[in-house]
Amino acid sequence: MIKGVIFDVDGTIVDSVDLHAQAWQEAFKKFGREVPFEKVRHQIGKGGDQLMPVFFSKEELERFGKEMEEYRGEIYKRDHLSRVTGFPKVRELFERIRRDDKRIALASSAKKDELEVYKEIARISDLIEAETSADDAEKSKPHPDIFEAALKRLGGIAPEKIMVIGDTPYDAEAAGKARLRTVGVLCGGFSEEELRATGCIAIYKDPADLLALYDDSPLVD
């Protein structure tokens, strides 16, 4: 029986993927690299430590990687964070999970201050028991650090009794490395094929679809 659910945040419960991609694209341009929007977008779900090396060499990142990541953060908070919206029925889904006496945690590659904003946007602050952010992990997704930290904070639940909800292949890959199963949602923009290829055991359009089909979902395992 499932006793805990760990949610990714960006692209899963809040609509922020395009905004993150725009901020990264602007930061890359400032540091001399024109990268097509879709190529950047396809990497969203990773933290900066895993995303930047896709587009810049080790030597380049040693010279200006930290500065570029900080610039990206400034752009995102100044120009994009206020435009983030929550997906429909997120609070209702969390309430349904809590009625089943399941515990809820968040596991995000976002910075802690961004995560606080997302919780307010999604109206879930009072429904979660634990959370982890980029500040709690040495390496971001697709490494398992963030999920392992969330698992530890849920304390005492075996991995096989926890389900992860995420929108990217990086969520499923990271969760699998932590011995966790993943349910995928399509609202972050990745295809069903990509999500299944990295281990998602079921796919839903978005949180509202998962709520509508909850009784027959893996959350009721």
Q: Residue 171's pLDDT is what?
A: 97
Q: Radius of gyration over alpha carbons of the chain, in Å?
A: 17
CATH architecture of 17-83: Orthogonal Bundle (1.10)
Across 11-15, 46-50, 64-68, least confident range:
46-50
pTM score, whole prediction = 0.96
Domain spans in the chain, listed from the N-terminal domain onward: 4-15+85-220, 17-83
Confidence at residue 111, expressed as pLDDT on a 0 to 100 scale = 85
Residue 183 binned pLDDT confidence (cut-offs 50, 70, 90): very high
Predicted local confidence at residue 109, as pLDDT:
84
User: So what's the pLDDT on residue 156?
Assistant: 83
Please give the distance of CA 146 from its chain centroid, rounded to a whole number. Answer: 10
pLDDT of residue 221: 74
What are 54-100's pLDDT values in tens digits?
999 999 999 999 999 999 999 999 999 999 999 999 999 999 999 99
pLDDT value at 43 more than 90: yes
Alpha-carbon span 17 to 36, nearest angstrom: 15
Token readout for 186 is: 């399509």
Please tell me the predicted confidence (pLDDT) of residue 181: 98
Q: Tell me what pLDDT residue 174 has.
A: 96
The answer, yes or no, to whether residue 187 has pLDDT greater than 80, is: yes
What tens digit of pLDDT does each residue of 124-157 get?
999 999 999 888 888 999 999 999 999 999 988 9
| Topology classification of domain 4-15+85-220 | Rossmann fold (3.40.50)
- Residue 31's pLDDT is 97
Residue 200 is predicted with a pLDDT of 98
Instruction: Give the sheet arrangement for strand 4-7, strand by strand.
Output: 130-132, 103-107, 4-7, 162-166, 181-185, 200-204
Within this chain, domains 4-15+85-220 and 17-83 share the same CATH topology: no
Q: What is the mean pLDDT of the chain?
A: 96
44 pLDDT band, cuts 50/70/90, is very high
Task: Return the pLDDT at 71.
Answer: 98
Task: Tell me how far CA of residue 14 lies from CA of 29, 99, 110, 114, 201, in angstroms.
Answer: 26, 22, 12, 12, 22
